Homo-oligomer: A and B are copies of this chain.
C-alpha cells in the first residue's frame, strides 16, 4: 500500500497525531481496512454506503472512494446487485493464497534479511515480544495486529514495493478468516516460527529466514483451511 509521501509542509515538527492533515477518504480507508482485518466486520457481512456514512460520521463521497479502493484490493466484493460484502474465503482460494505466499513471503524474508540493520532487528524483536504478550493474555485484537505488523515490517525491509504490495493485498483476503480462526481456536494454540526467523535474520542466513517464514505462513494457512472445511461455518 502506498504510504503518502512526506508531508511537503514547511515545518519539521510533525505532530504525533497520525491522523492529521490526511484527506478524509484516506482516513476512512484506513479505518475500514482495520475493521476488516482485525475488527468488527466479519466475513459475509454486508456493508452499506449510507450505513458507513452514519457509523463513521462522514459524507458519501469519501466513503464511496474508500469502498472502491477496498474492492479493488479484494478486501470487499461487489455482490452483484449493488450489495457490497466482506468476501467469504473459499477453501480453493486458500490453496491459491498458500501458493502465492510461499514464493512471495519467502522472497521478501530473504531480501529483508539482506537489508536488515541492527535497529530493524530490534524493532522486529520488540513486535514479537508484544505478540507473545498478546498470546499469553489471550488478547485477540492485539495478537492479530502485532502478527500483521511483524510481517508487514519484514515486507517493508525487503525494499521490494511491488512484491510487498502484493503480499499486503493477500492479507486483506485471508485476514478476516484468520480472525475467525483465531477467535475459535484461541491465541494459545498458535505456534509461530518468528523466533527461528529472527535467529536466521540475525546471523544473516537469508535462506533459513525464507524457510522459516514459509513454515510460519503454512502453519497459519493450514489452520485457516481446516476451519473453513470443518462444519459450523460462521454465524
Report the bound CA distance from A65 to B163 in whole Å. Answer: 25
Q: Are A163 and B99 in contact (CB under 8 A)?
A: yes
Q: Are B2 and A71 in contact (CB under 8 A)?
A: yes
Q: Are A161 and B93 in contact (CB under 8 A)?
A: yes
Given B64, B78, B103, B161, which contacts A4 in the complex, CB threshold below 8 Å?
A: B78
Contacts of A165 in B (CB 8 A): 74
Q: What copy number does this chain have within its complex?
A: 2
Contacts of A6 in B (CB 8 A): 80
Report the bound CA distance from A170 to B19 in whole Å. Answer: 31
A120-162 vs B, Cβ < 8 Å mask (1 yes, 0 no): 0000000000000000000000000000000000000000111
Could you jot down 29 A-B contacts, CB within 8 Å? A2-B71, A2-B78, A5-B80, A6-B80, A8-B80, A25-B68, A61-B61, A61-B64, A65-B65, A66-B68, A68-B68, A68-B72, A69-B71, A72-B72, A74-B162, A74-B165, A93-B161, A93-B162, A96-B160, A96-B163, A97-B162, A99-B107, A100-B104, A100-B162, A100-B163, A103-B103, A162-B173, A166-B166, A166-B169
